[in-house]
């Protein structure tokens, strides 16, 4: 109402204004008045016109001088070859007279060459010779230009097309060849140029391994805002083998953060980057690189924050060879990229010509395949690739098979001049054309799998051919679209196992109802009404900001006694409790893996070193490894009560029967590995309510004789609060050195298996109603492994969305191991939270 009044009042006022002006003009001499008005009008038009032209000119001048003509700085790094001069050692040291002399000669060559091109010459500011290397003499340079903005792209083009001519300099005749220059970041190039500023020049000697590291390693972390370079050289006709023994940099934060770059060149040349590294790698990761020539450059650029140890690297030289591939005439054999498992060298081409006996056919099984380059389409594979039957393969691939319908197959490998990877490792076998997989199932792809894996609900072939045309058993259901049989316990578990959603279709609540985690349906309007209508907290757990509420078993209790409704608020990065206790450092510094990268292992189920640093091996003198356990503090382990039942005259219930091995990976090295810490047990206490018939309350804690220091291999896992929910579909892992098959022997290397939490009701049906509320079920998703004898007491580790890892369960029991439709049973840690707190104080 008020607004309208204002609008009404304003308008007439402004119209009145104009009308008033007209009215006040003298109305007696209309002619004169018209003339005057015309003159005035012309004058105004003239003034406006002139002003417009002036502004246009000013604008153009501003644009010309400030933008179009404004000088921009451009820098190029590159190299050229001097073909009529021998290399001498003194050229390796920028401080020698010989270096200076040759530098000034090449600078002159470059100056003359640039000047001969009008798109380049006038803009040259500076030339720096950054190094020489053998072959004949390769000269590396940095050239700087100042060029009007509008001529910058012409300069780029001219530099790209520039050719150098043989040049006579005073008495010297330099024949130069193979000029190449690439745009570079001047700031970075200049910083690396300064020899006083963290630059190292290293030459490998025959048979000697030369080490280098980030400044201060291993006692001091590397500095912030660092620009370091290590120029590595080998003798003529040699190549360099560079290996990072330790690599612990800041976790990757692309596109910024700390990174180390390895170049197949002596200077920073973008197209010669072999690898860019960040984060940390476990010692088992083969971080080894091979150059194509006798030089390499390692640079390190760090940002302004973080404290990390850095790297320790070493390099050796070996005679240059481009040999690879070859003729293979045996019935079977192995092939791999040059220097596998080191990264293959850049600029290589190999051909394997494989011919098996005439009456057989041949197939190649790629067991490892890593030809990954950043930002390269894996459909066309333009850079590095393997080519068979005119089809290119690249990227990172899980094991696959390529078959030939003849006795011959040709495998081509190509690497371009930038970015290298681990490469591939493959085996070829000959086979009877009529029976490609004796005693096994032949997948459509030619792969062979165990007969037992046919129709088991898992896509073992990779192309689902093992799951086609199966009769579903009583414990299975059939997916709608692809007709594949899947275990019934996959129904309604929130994961789209069929791919078409048909296994999750009839599980929905009616319209306007919300589905609770426990399967109940409640009306939508009950969501976030501060009443736990589901009975499991679902309808109150995702209500924006954490709200305080009455405490129930489904709410998170803060240290100040208040309870909040938010789902899994612990250590999620947001302070939800008024006192901040859900984010307190003491309870959040757990469940972290020191190594961010994974080792690439053949076989798949071996754990990586340092991947499960809370995993403990509990051993007895008589039996060796007997049970697993999880480290939850410097002195406390959690394990299963049933491991500590006296039996066969052995006092398993006594602490002095046991020894704990922490930081262990391979049982063979338990006494020799420096990563392993051994502790006797001071105190052992099983849950008094443990029932040895039902395995209810299967939990125990052990106290180490003395605390352990946390290392890259020893870390605690987080204990979840009782309200913590582990939803289906999230990665959950079981690990241990238990039996590899139901009646098999234990593993030497720590094993891991990705499994899935299974709906309690479904699992109870499968296990004949043996579950109690203190148990959870989890079944395997692929690989056919499960927890088994010897895994008991070990962790069921849940990787939460923030990457932190929580102890969801403790390996407890099962009907056999990895049997179809017989998931493993785990002690539910959330149900034991109070017992843990009362007994350990944690």
* Catalytic positions, written as ranges: 642, 698, 792
Neighbours of 78 (CB within 10 A): 23
Shortest distance in whole angstroms from residue 685 CB to ligand 4AZ: 20
Is residue 383 helix, strand or coil?
A: coil
Q: In this complex, which beta carbon is closest to ligand 4AZ, that of residue 715 or of residue 789?
A: 789
Name which of 364, 442, 371 is nearest 402 in CA terms: 364
Whether the CB-CB separation of 735 and 790 falls below 8 Å is answered with no
Enter the DSSP assignment of 550: -
Which residue lies nearer to ligand 4AZ by CB, 213 or 789?
Answer: 789
Q: Please count the other Cβ atoms lying within 10 Å of the Cβ belonging to residue 683.
A: 12
Residue 816 Cβ vs ligand 4AZ, minimum distance, rounded to whole Å: 7
Residue with smaller CB distance to ligand 4AZ, 110 or 775? 775
Strand-pair category, 227-233 with 199-203: parallel
User: Residue 427's closest CA among 414, 443, 409?
Assistant: 409
- Rounded to a whole number of angstroms, the minimum distance from the CB of residue 789 to ligand 4AZ is 4
The helix or strand, by DSSP H or E, that contains position 71, with its residue range, turns out to be strand 71-82
**CA neighbor of 295 nearest in space, from 205, 213, 181, 202:** 202
Rounded Cα gap, residues 30 and 488, in angstroms: 100
- List interacting residues with ligand 4AZ (CB under 6 A): 786-789, 791-792, 811, 813-814, 817, 824
CB 811 within 8 A of CB 791: yes
* Distances, alpha carbon 769 to alpha carbons 384, 474, 809, in Å: 56, 18, 19
The answer to whether 296 touches 243, Cβ cutoff 8 Å, is no
Q: Which of 575, 528, 691, 595 is nearest to 283 (CA)?
A: 595
Burial of 53 per CB tally in 10 Å (0-12, 13-18, 19+): exposed
Judge contact between 288 and 241, C-beta under 8 A: yes
Question: What does the radius of gyration of the chain's CA atoms come to, in whole angstroms?
Answer: 36
Which of 491/817 has CB closer to ligand 4AZ? 817
- Which residue from 339, 416, 408, 412 is spatially nearest to 376, judged by alpha carbons? 416
CB of 511 to ligand 4AZ, least distance (A): 41
CA 640 vs. chain centroid, Å, equals: 34
The pair of three-digit structure tokens given for residue 730, joined into one six-digit string: 């999230």
Minimal distance in Å, beta carbon 641 to ligand 4AZ?
A: 12
Place of tokens 């190292």: 200
Residue 755 CB, nearest approach to ligand 4AZ (Å): 10
From the CB of 536, what's the least distance to ligand 4AZ, in Å? 26
Nearest position to ligand 4AZ, beta carbon: 814
Pair type for strands 824-828 and 395-397: unpaired
Residue (263 or 695) nearer to ligand 4AZ, CB: 695
Here the tokens at position 11 are 């308008």
> Minimum distance from CB of 821 to ligand 4AZ (Å)?
12
Of 732 and 817, which CB lies nearer to ligand 4AZ in the complex structure?
A: 817
Q: In 426-533, which ranges are continuous DSSP H helix?
A: none
Q: How far is the CB of 766 from ligand 4AZ (least distance, A)?
A: 12
DSSP 61: H
Task: Tell which residue, 330, 301, 296, 333, has the closest CA to residue 315.
Answer: 296
- Closer residue to ligand 4AZ in complex, CB, 92/786: 786
Phi, psi of 425 (to 5 degrees): -135, 130
Question: CB of residue 832 vs ligand 4AZ: minimum separation in angstroms?
Answer: 17
In 3D, which of 485, 412, 733, 407 has the Cα closest to residue 591? 733
Question: How many C-alpha atoms does 512 have within 13 Å on its Cβ side?
Answer: 2
Q: Rounded to whole angstroms, how far apart are CA atoms 166 and 162?
A: 13
b vs e for 99-135, b when ≥16 Cβ sit within 10 Å of the residue's Cβ? Answer: beebbebbbbbbeebbeeeebbeebbeebbbbbbbbb
Q: How far is the CB of 183 from ligand 4AZ (least distance, A)?
A: 59
Tell me the residue ranges of DSSP E strands in 116-194: 124-134, 137-148, 167-169, 172-174, 176-184
- Six-digit token pair at 308? 């990390």
> Are residues 576 and 559 in contact, defined by beta-carbon separation less than 8 angstroms?
no
- What minimum distance in Å lies between the beta carbon of 696 and ligand 4AZ? 15
Count Cα neighbours of 279 within 13 Å in the Cβ-side half-sphere. Answer: 17
Longest dimension (CA), the chain: 133
How far apart, in Å, are the Cα atoms of 227 and each of 33, 200, 213, 223, 253? 79, 12, 14, 9, 17
- For residues 439 and 125, what is the distance between their CA atoms, to the nearest angstrom? 74
Residue 457 or 814: which CB sits closer to ligand 4AZ? 814
Q: How far is the CB of 662 from ligand 4AZ (least distance, A)?
A: 21
């Amino acid at each position: 109402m008020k607004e309208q009044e204002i609008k009404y009042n304003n308008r007439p006022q402004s119209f009145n204004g104009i009308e008033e002006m007209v009215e006040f003009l003298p109305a007696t001499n209309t002619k004169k008045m018209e003339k005057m008005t015309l003159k005035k009008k012309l004058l105004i038009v003239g003034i406006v016109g002139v002003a417009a032209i002036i502004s246009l000119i000013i604008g153009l001048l501003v644009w010309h001088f400030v933008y179009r003509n404004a000088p921009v700085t451009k820098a190029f790094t590159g190299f050229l070859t001097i073909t009529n001069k021998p290399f001498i050692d003194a050229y390796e040291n920028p401080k020698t007279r010989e270096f200076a002399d040759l530098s000034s000669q090449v600078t002159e060559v470059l100056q003359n060459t640039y000047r001969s091109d009008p798109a380049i010459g006038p803009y040259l500011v500076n030339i720096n010779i950054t190094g020489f290397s053998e072959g004949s003499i390769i000269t590396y340079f940095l050239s700087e230009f100042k060029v009007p903005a509008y001529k910058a792209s012409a300069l780029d083009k001219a530099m790209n097309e520039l050719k150098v001519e043989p040049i006579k300099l005073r008495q010297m005749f330099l024949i130069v060849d193979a000029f190449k220059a690439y745009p570079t970041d001047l700031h970075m190039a200049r910083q690396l140029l300064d020899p006083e500023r963290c630059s190292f020049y290293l030459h490998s000697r025959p048979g000697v391994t030369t080490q280098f590291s980030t400044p201060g390693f291993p006692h001091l972390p590397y500095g912030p805002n660092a620009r370091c370079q290590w120029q590595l050289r080998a003798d003529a006709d040699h190549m360099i083998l560079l290996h990072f023994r330790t690599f612990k940099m800041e976790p990757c934060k692309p596109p910024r953060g700390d990174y180390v770059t390895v170049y197949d060149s002596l200077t920073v040349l973008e197209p010669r980057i072999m690898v860019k590294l960040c984060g940390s790698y476990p010692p088992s990761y083969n971080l080894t690189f091979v150059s194509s020539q006798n030089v390499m450059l390692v640079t390190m650029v760090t940002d302004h924050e973080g404290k990390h140890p850095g790297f320790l690297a070493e390099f050796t030289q070996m005679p240059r060879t481009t040999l690879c591939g070859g003729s293979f005439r045996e019935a079977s054999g192995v092939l791999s990229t040059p220097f596998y498992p080191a990264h293959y060298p850049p600029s290589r081409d190999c051909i394997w010509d494989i011919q098996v006996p005439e009456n057989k056919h041949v197939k190649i099984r790629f067991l490892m395949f890593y030809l990954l380059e950043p930002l390269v389409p894996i459909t066309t594979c333009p850079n590095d690739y393997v080519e068979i039957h005119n089809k290119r393969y690249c990227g990172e691939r899980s094991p696959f098979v390529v078959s030939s319908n003849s006795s011959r197959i040709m495998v081509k490998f190509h690497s371009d001049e930038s970015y290298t990877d681990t490469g591939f490792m493959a085996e070829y076998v000959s086979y009877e054309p009529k029976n490609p997989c004796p005693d096994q199932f032949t997948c459509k792809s030619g792969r062979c799998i165990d007969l037992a894996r046919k129709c088991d609900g898992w896509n073992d072939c990779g192309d689902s051919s093992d799951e086609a045309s199966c009769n579903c058993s009583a414990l299975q259901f059939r997916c709608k679209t692809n007709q594949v049989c899947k275990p019934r316990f996959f129904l309604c578990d929130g994961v789209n196992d069929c791919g078409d959603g048909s296994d999750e279709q009839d599980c929905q609540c009616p319209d306007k109802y919300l589905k609770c985690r426990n399967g109940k349906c409640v009306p939508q309007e009950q969501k976030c009404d501060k009443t736990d209508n589901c009975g499991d907290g679902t309808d109150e757990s995702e209500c924006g900001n954490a709200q305080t509420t009455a405490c129930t078993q489904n709410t998170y209790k803060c240290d100040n006694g208040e309870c909040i409704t938010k789902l899994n608020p612990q250590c999620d990065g947001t302070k939800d409790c008024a006192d901040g206790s859900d984010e307190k450092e003491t309870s959040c510094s757990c469940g972290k893996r020191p190594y961010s990268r994974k080792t690439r292992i053949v076989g798949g189920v071996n754990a990586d070193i340092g991947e499960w640093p809370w995993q403990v091996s509990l051993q007895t003198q008589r039996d060796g490894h007997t049970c697993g356990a999880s480290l939850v503090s410097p002195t406390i382990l959690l394990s299963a009560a049933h491991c500590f039942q006296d039996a066969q005259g052995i006092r398993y219930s006594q602490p002095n029967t046991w020894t704990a091995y922490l930081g262990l990976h391979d049982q063979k090295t338990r006494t020799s590995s420096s990563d392993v810490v051994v502790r006797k047990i001071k105190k052992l206490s099983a849950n008094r309510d443990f029932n040895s018939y039902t395995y209810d309350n299967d939990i125990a804690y052990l106290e180490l004789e003395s605390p352990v220091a946390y290392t890259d291999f020893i870390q605690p896992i987080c204990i979840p609060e009782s309200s913590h929910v582990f939803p289906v579909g999230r990665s959950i892992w079981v690990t241990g050195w238990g039996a590899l098959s139901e009646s098999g022997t234990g593993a030497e290397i720590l094993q891991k298996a990705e499994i899935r939490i299974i709906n309690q009701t479904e699992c109870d049906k499968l296990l004949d109603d043996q579950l109690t509320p203190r148990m959870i079920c989890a079944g395997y998703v692929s690989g056919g492994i499960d927890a088994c004898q010897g895994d008991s007491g070990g962790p069921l580790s849940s990787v939460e969305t923030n990457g932190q890892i929580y102890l969801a369960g403790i390996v407890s029991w099962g009907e056999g191991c990895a049997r179809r439709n017989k998931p493993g049973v785990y002690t539910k840690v959330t149900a034991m939270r109070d017992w843990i707190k009362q007994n350990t104080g944690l």
